[in-house]
Chain A
Amino acid sequence: MLGSLKGRIAVILLTLVVAGWYIFSNGLKLGLDLQGGMHLKVEVADPDGTMTPEAMADATDRALQVLRTRIDQFGVEEPLIQKSGDRRIIVELPGVDDEERAKDIIQRAAFLEFRLLSGGRQFREALPRIDRAIVAAIGTEGLPESAFQTPDSGTGTGPQESIADLVFGNRGDTAAQAADSAAADSGSVAADDEPESNIRPLSSLLLASAGSEHEFLVLQSDVERVRYYLDLPEVQAALPRGIALRWHTQPTSMAAQLYRVLYVLEDPAFMSGEDLVDATAGRSQQTNEAIVMFELNRRGGRTFEQVTGRNIGERIAIVLDGQVHSAPVVNGRIGQRGEIQLGGAPLEEARDLALVLRAGALPAPLEIIEERSVGPSLGQDSIDRGRIAGIIGLALVLVIMAAYYRVAGILAIGALFVYVVILLGGLAGFNATLTLPGIAGLILSIGMAVDANVLIFERIREELAAGRVPRIAVEEGFKNAMSAIVDSNLTTLATALILFNFGTGPVRGFAVVLSIGIIASFFSAVYVTRTLFMIYLERRRSTAPLSI
């Protein structure tokens, strides 16, 4: 008995620790209705109703790919972009209050272009001029330390450091703070008296890439700062003619650091998505590697033939909405039909690239069919009120239980405490989103969680009234109440699951709370209360009356 009691206590403590760990490590994710933000449901437009289901599904996939590409532009921490059904996409933007901008980002037509990688040398030569333009525009006050270091090699024309130097060398780690103050100071005017030539705000952040003279690596943590520099009108004016700078869409990892590639590209683009007819992913017949096959129209074929013919060995960047998705090397002259080899990358990647190409070729206009937004003040207000309501509701339940069942009621309160911890831990562990109806569900479930205890306690009272000794009465009480508890919990669980499938957003949050709540309450009411009863009975004579 003691052994099994110890085991039970260990199980309960372990559960509490795991739940607590989830609560503190994952935290509770708040729904849009609590933290404020925008929820949009968009659908691929089909004004004539002529699209086949396959065409619709493909258009939705393209739109999804485009939105994922633009995810950065929303400027929010955790945007959610998710397919819903065959032809709808849900976009959730926590904390967004500029609706017009967000909608513009979502609905803007995708723009695909092809540009040669070129102009790296001119860009390098222009770097000192660009550095000076930055200093002239924002002054030297907010610049990080690294900007003041003189180049290691004597040329002084640009970044010559190897990656290893920069990875292991000293770097200003106050970049983020500096970026803030730089932004704040942007109004203040240039410092004429500075020894300009040694200050290298931009070129100190660019690392030469081993792959090509037309690309640079920028530490992921510096990307925002470099972007800010490049967007300055003074810098735009100082850029050499005929080149454009574009970022790669995703960071690359190298020597345990994350970098973004910045490409120097020919300006203007030699071809746009208009001339692309189709693109599909497949496998090469010779090597069986994943490739993307594309097809151009006549005009596009002619252009492509000229450009590729002249530039064998050079690279062409595929740019969607201003971001480079891939920059394959030209292996030979390509006409209307071509292949892009991905060097052994998984088929998945080829599919994504084909989607990017098709997104540019066949724009998929999106209609907003549902839009909800919640201001941050309402969200905070809801949390505060939910907390007060929860504490008061919980207090009332506790008072009723303790007054009605005395010591047994206090045991039930202990079980209820375990219940709340498990419920919150479950929510955190499943990454469930806590919504306003979710908070209501949580409070409601506290009221219902005691139900199982009430069932058990009433049975124990009946057994005691029938003259059984406490230990037997407790055992019988638990046993007899079990079938009612199981049946009622399972039916409620069934409705909760239906609710989950039916609902979106807030309602779904409510269903999740209810489902986890039912499972948690089953554990706490049956297992935890039983254990607490064992402890309670352990310390007394078997004939002493129960306080129930």
Chain B
Amino acid sequence: MRIFANANYDFIGRRGLFVKVSVAVCAALVVGMIALQFSAGSWMNYGVDFTGGTMVQVIAPQGATAESIREIASRVSPGATVSRFGAESEFLIRVPEFVEEGAGEESVANEIVAALQAEYGGDGVQVVRTEAVGARVGSELQRQAAFAILLSFAVTLLYLAFRFEWRFGVAAIVSTFHDILVVLGVISILRLEVSLTTVAAVLTIIGYSLNDTIVVFDRVRENVAKLGRRETYEKIVNTAINETLPRTVLTSATTLAALLGLYIFGGAVIREFAFILIVGVVVGTYSSIFIASPALLAIERRWPKKEAKKSGGTTGRARSTRVRAAL
């Protein structure tokens, strides 16, 4: 069996269309995120990991509803919100409160559980999981998460600049940035809860998307060395995309297959994680074909590589003066 054998699609010729679609989608998502920032108070539905606060997951007896549980929890902490989680009688209770406990103080989680048990009887309420994070820790984690994402960009850029050349690095970052923007947009618009696990998912997507882009770029580099004199850059890039197309599709398929198993059978805790990764893999695959290569071409057109390569040192210097001029 073979798919896309000797494929020869004109990806590059039609790149304008795809770039327009991507820009439109990204713009819509950004507008949506900004709108949410104002209408819902925050562009992201941060979980207790980042806002600080307390989360209790309980199995309540038959007949308990989210509303009745919210009412009981509100007596303990007025800002309580309750949502169903996975199974029929399982609920997530969130309150913004977290007492930084000194010795002997009762935690908010315990007070809520005690209130529920008073209502439904001691055996009826089963605590599955509790999480309580201080507000200070929460804001630290937010900062660290942003830093981790930026750092991974920086490291990749450096590595690619070292292994390829800077324009490949920049193009890869552009396409990865596109992926992260789309994924964050989806997380934001669907109001998925942002936890530490979500950040792990986003960082994984960065890794996957780069991986995918690098395979195409590796082929571009190889083809430039092979046919650089005879073909236009557009043609070389387009050929590289087509040559790597079977691999791109197949690897995405196997990764998606594994993720699909997780999504369907992995249980409620892992489902959101798998969902975000599925979105990321689809977008990452799309972008390595339709965004990374056009970005590379645009960069190449704006700052063309000097044809006569004398030595690495001089081209490097020449390149950097051009960058400075452009800035």
Contacts and interface: CB of A to CB of B under 8 A. Distances in A.
B219 interface: yes
A495 B159 CA distance: 12
Given A462-B243, A499-B148, A514-B204, A483 B132 contact: no
Contacts of A462: 243
Contacts, number: 238
B118 interface: no
A401 B251 CA distance: 10
A389 B265 contact: yes
Contact of A392 (B132, B152, B204, B261): B261
B63 interface: no
B68 interface: no
Interface in A479-503: 480, 483-484, 487-488, 490-492, 494-496, 498-499, 501-503
A446 B247 CA distance: 16
B218 A496 contact: no
Contact of A498 (B148, B208, B243, B257): B148
Interface string A192-214: 00000000000000000000000
Nearest to A109: B103
Interface in B159-201: 159-160, 163, 196-197, 199-200
A149 to B, nearest CB: 47
Residue with the highest number of chain B CB atoms closer than 10 Å, among A367, A394, A440:
A440
Contacts of A458: 244, 246-247, 250
Given A372-B132, A444-B258, A450-B251, A381 B102 contact: no
Interface in A423-451: 436-437, 439-441, 443-444, 446-448, 450-451
Interface string B106-146: 01011000000000000000111111111011000000110
Contacts of A108: 103
A392 B265 contact: yes
B100 A368 contact: yes
Nearest to B203: A499
B253 interface: yes
Given A397-B258, A400-B254, A491-B211, A107 B247 contact: no
A400 B250 contact: yes
Contacts of B104: 104, 107
Given A393-B258, A495-B152, A371 B107 contact: yes
B1 interface: yes
- Main secondary structure on chain B at its contact with chain A? helix
Given A371-B130, A392-B261, A401 B254 contact: yes
A371 B130 CA distance: 8
Given A373-B130, A401-B254, A492 B210 contact: yes
Contacts of B277: 444
Nearest to A458: B247
Interface stretch (B21-29, B34-42, B69-77, B268-276): B268-276
Interface residues of B, number: 77
B13 interface: no
A141 interface: no
Contact of B219 (A443, A450, A484, A498): A484
Interface string A363-402: 0011111111111011001100110111111101100110
Contacts of A371: 107, 109, 130-133
Residue with the highest number of chain A CB atoms closer than 10 Å, among B57, B129, B207:
B207
B206 interface: yes
B197 A437 contact: yes
B253 A487 contact: no
B2 A461 contact: yes
A404 interface: yes
Contacts of A377: 126, 128
A184 interface: no
- Main secondary structure on chain A at its contact with chain B? helix
B282 interface: no
B258 A447 contact: yes
A103 interface: yes
Given A368-B101, A401-B254, A514-B204, A443 B262 contact: yes
B51 to A, nearest CB: 13
B151 interface: yes
Interface string A451-465: 100110010011001
Interface string B273-294: 1100100000000000000000
Interface string B1-45: 111001000000000000000000000000000000000000000
A248 interface: no
Contact of A436 (B160, B211, B264, B270): B270
A491 B159 contact: yes
A375 B127 contact: yes
A96 to B, nearest CB: 12
A461 B243 CA distance: 11
Nearest to A106: B103
Interface of B: 1-3, 6, 57, 100-104, 107, 109-110, 126-134, 136-137, 144-145, 147-148, 151-152, 155-156, 159-160, 163, 196-197, 199-200, 203-204, 206-208, 210-212, 214-215, 218-219, 222, 243-244, 246-247, 250-251, 253-262, 264-267, 269-270, 273-274, 277
30 contacts: A107-B101, A108-B103, A371-B130, A372-B132, A382-B267, A385-B266, A386-B270, A389-B261, A389-B262, A389-B266, A400-B250, A403-B1, A404-B1, A437-B200, A440-B270, A444-B204, A444-B255, A451-B255, A454-B247, A454-B251, A455-B215, A458-B246, A491-B207, A491-B210, A491-B211, A491-B214, A494-B152, A495-B156, A510-B200, A514-B207
The 5 A-B pairs at the shortest CB distance, nearest first, are namely: A393-B261, A447-B258, A447-B255, A396-B257, A393-B258
Given A385-B266, A507-B197, 17 more contacts: A99-B107, A366-B103, A369-B133, A371-B107, A372-B132, A375-B126, A389-B262, A396-B261, A400-B253, A437-B200, A439-B270, A451-B251, A454-B250, A458-B250, A488-B214, A499-B148, A503-B196
